[in-house]
Amino acid sequence: MLIYYLKILNIKQNKIIDKLSFTLTNDQIKSLKEINKDLCSSTKMFRLLQGDVGSGKTIVALLAALNTVNSGFQVAFMAPTEILARQHFNLAKKIFDKNVIINLISGKSDYKEKKDILGKLSLHKIDIIFGTHAIFQKKVTFEKLGLIIIDEQHKFGVNQRKKLSDKGGDNCDILLMTATPIPRTLTMTIFGDMDISIIKEKPKSRKSIKTYSKLESKIGDIIKFIKKEIQLGNQIFWVCPLIEESKKIDHSSAIKKFEFLKKIFPNQVCLLHGKTDIDQKENILNDFLNNKFKILVSTTIIEVGIDFPNANVIIIENANKFGLSQLHQLRGRVGRGNKESSCILMFKSSLSENAKKRINILKKTNDGFVISEEDMSIRGFGDILGFKQSGIKNFKLADPIQNKDLFLLAEKEIRRIENSNEDIGKFKPLIKLYDRADIINDIV
């Protein structure tokens, strides 16, 4: 029955895939098969779809949503920002036919519109609802919620994710997505209660981003470069670590840089930061998307996966003050169109050895999984069961970076023991050797 049902879903799914303007990568196809199998099983899916920036996670999630709808259920697709939710909504409108009823709800939806959407949702007159945190409010009810998709899942709190999950009951499948690449062995440790699908392969149309480093005193060279890019019709992100100038911290501020750049590029520069009004923020991002101005000066607020195909240059000031993974996420805002893209890391003359290492790693590779491993080898991987985000964890026999082959072997052996129904009692000494946490006493 399961195989037969999968075949039916695949026929409908392949009709959509054939209409796409691009070919799915092998990793996308593999991940989709894993998710489809979960959707057709009798057990609840709890899966993490992990992929580097620009690897194509969204299309995989949407195809999974389509299969859920074709099975007679509803889907909730949640994103951390309205513009990202709208971006997913617009993509779904492009690829799905009119038989799939979709809608978008957000905090900005007016009362009448929201009431109409909620009424249709409760009566199953909407198949897929896209939105931000507004989706898990008390008034939002579903008739038959079968799948919850949460994009950029780390941007939501555990309680927020639970509120949405509760709306689907015990059998509602859950698919989490993250663009923060985590090495396989550490993923096993953090997300041990989840199944994991990984998309490493990038679409063939994606061109690699060339990364350069530049002393901040050489800003004149960068201005010349930007002028050429604007003449070619391209757009630029300019990222600063602070909103305003600080007497305590010698970092560049977005407001000061905006004032500097708008004198050189009149009517072509806009400013965005965390204090920007929500409505104004949406308008600025939409104007940038529609190429109404050329340079967007911002803080790291643009880090989350918004897609601006015409932006092909990003300049990051005080790059030495950011972590490797965050720099990689920021760099991922460009290189989403069909043009060559550039990332310029600006820094002050006095750099620490670790800062030099981070910048050189970014210049050598665009692979987020390689970068995350290098990042952890530099700063440590923190207290996995606690709140500490960096610093070396004291494992008794091995660590996930230096001895990843042992961790993979251990995972394989654990799965063998589970499948063979062996008595776990005889493995107590081994378990104690591998985990020094007090929690182990509750297990053995």
Residue 385 lies in a domain: no
Q: Is 195 helix (H, G, I), strand (E, B) or coil?
A: strand
CA nearest neighbour of 362 among 352, 372, 353, 351: 372
What CATH number is associated with residue 306?
A: 3.40.50.300
Say yes or no: 10 and 151 in one domain.
yes
Specify whether 233 is located in the same domain as 185: no
Structural domain harbouring 44: 2-199
pLDDT at 164: 65
Domain match, 409 and 271 both: no
pLDDT in tens, 371-384: 877 777 766 554 43
Q: Which pLDDT value is given to residue 51?
A: 84
pLDDT at 86: 86
Buried b (16+ CB within 10 A) or exposed e, 132-160: bbbbbeeebebeebbbbbbbbbebbeeeb
Give pLDDT, residue 46. Answer: 84
pLDDT of residue 195: 81
- Residue pair 342/365 in contact by the 8 Å Cβ criterion: no
CA distance 333 to 180: 13
Are residue 128 and residue 223 in the same domain, yes or no? no
CB of 154 within 8 A of CB of 177? no
**Residues 9 and 149 reside in one and the same domain:** yes
Question: What pLDDT, on the 0 to 100 scale, is given for residue 97?
Answer: 87
In this structure, the answer to whether residues 219 and 193 fall within a common structural domain is no
Given a contact cutoff of 8 angstroms between Cβ atoms, the answer to whether 80 and 151 are in contact is yes
The whole-angstrom separation of Cα 293 and Cα 157 is: 35
pLDDT on residue 112: 87
199, 223, 249 - which closes a domain: 199
* pTM over the 0.75 mark: no
Number of domains in the chain: 3
Is 6 found in the same domain as 144? Answer: yes
**Domain boundary, last residue among 368, 391, 418:** 368
250 and 355 share one domain: yes
Ranges in the chain, pLDDT < 50: 1-5, 185, 189, 247-248, 382-393, 434-444
